């Protein structure tokens, strides 16, 4: 789902980079020192999970945990996602340096969805965890598909969404399971 450098027009990439830096700043303001280690550990977890690819319909996908980041960190999830994507770009050329901003904004939308769903839905934590995980990956996939349609870069919207729908279900189930686990062993982790 990473957008590589050179796919988007330069002005869109640069505008997205500026917006992403602003979002990192907004998500990092007045940060408590006890939040930094948790954010760093989760950044490492996001980075590592992105290295585990699953073959699906002739391509491969990986989990993102964006919705889980949103429910754990709220607005602090965006800096976590941005740093993860920056490291992925530098280490493995997933995306690119110019496109790291658009990738962060798109994938950060999954964290935003997770944050809002977690805070405002009246369902059980198990159900909210599933929805956070599901929409945490499904919304970014939808946004990438729509962006590609907008810039006329391929016509694979239905294929792209058919690949990420099963991934979203798996991510929803994983997030729900993690929420139930942490509710039992470390309930404070689920409170911001």
Whether the predicted pLDDT of 1 surpasses 90: no
What's the rounded mean pLDDT across residues 133-156?
Answer: 87
Domains of the chain: 10-190 (1.10.1760.20)
Distance CA 93, CA 89 (A): 4
pLDDT of residue 143: 92
6 pLDDT band, cuts 50/70/90, is confident
Got the DSSP string for 9-21?
A: -HHHHHHHHHHHH
Token code pair at residue 170 = 């798996």
Whether the predicted pLDDT of 94 surpasses 80: no
What's the rounded mean pLDDT across residues 64-68?
Answer: 95
pLDDT in tens, 23-36: 999 999 999 998 99
**Burial zone of 168 (CB within 10 Å; 0-12 exposed, 13-18 middle, 19+ buried):** buried
Distance CA 136, CA 69 (A): 9
- pTM of structure: 0.90
pLDDT in tens, 103-130: 999 999 999 999 999 999 999 999 999 9
Distance CA 74, CA 191 (A): 10
Distance CA 116, CA 67 (A): 10
Quick check: 183 and 140 in contact, CB under 8 A?
A: no
Contacts 24+ apart (CB under 8 A), 119-126: 119/74, 125/179, 125/180, 125/183, 125/190, 126/176, 126/179, 126/180
pLDDT of residue 160: 75
Which of helix, strand or coil describes residue 103?
helix
Neighbours of 62 (CB within 10 A): 16
Distance CA 35, CA 133 (A): 22
192 pLDDT band, cuts 50/70/90, is low
Distance CA 133, CA 142 (A): 14
Token code pair at residue 138 = 């499904």
180 pLDDT band, cuts 50/70/90, is very high
pLDDT of residue 183: 94
Q: Of 36-45, 64-73, 105-114, 150-159, give the lowest mean pLDDT range.
A: 150-159
Measure CA of the first residue to CA of the last residue in the chain; give whole Å: 29
Distance CA 47, CA 44 (A): 5
What's the rounded mean pLDDT across residues 67-86?
Answer: 95
What's the rounded mean pLDDT across residues 40-67?
Answer: 88
pLDDT of residue 114: 96
């Amino acid at each position: 789902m990473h957008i590589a450098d050179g796919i988007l027009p330069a002005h869109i990439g640069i505008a997205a980079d500026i917006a992403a830096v602003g979002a990192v700043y907004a998500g990092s303001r007045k940060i408590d020192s006890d939040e930094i280690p948790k954010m760093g550990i989760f950044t490492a977890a996001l980075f590592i999970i992105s290295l585990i690819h699953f073959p699906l319909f002739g391509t491969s996908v990986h989990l993102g945990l964006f919705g889980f980041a949103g429910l754990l960190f709220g607005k602090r999830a965006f800096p976590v996602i941005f740093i993860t994507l920056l490291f992925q770009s530098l280490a493995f050329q997933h995306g690119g340096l110019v496109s790291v901003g658009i990738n962060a904004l798109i994938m950060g939308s999954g964290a935003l969805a997770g944050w809002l769903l977690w805070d405002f839905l009246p369902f059980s934590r198990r159900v909210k965890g599933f929805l956070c995980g599901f929409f945490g990956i499904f919304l970014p996939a939808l946004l990438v598909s729509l962006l590609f349609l907008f810039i006329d870069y391929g016509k694979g919207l239905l294929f792209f969404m058919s690949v990420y729908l099963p991934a979203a279900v798996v991510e929803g189930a994983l997030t729900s399971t993690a929420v139930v686990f942490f509710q039992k062993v470390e309930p404070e982790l689920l409170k911001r």
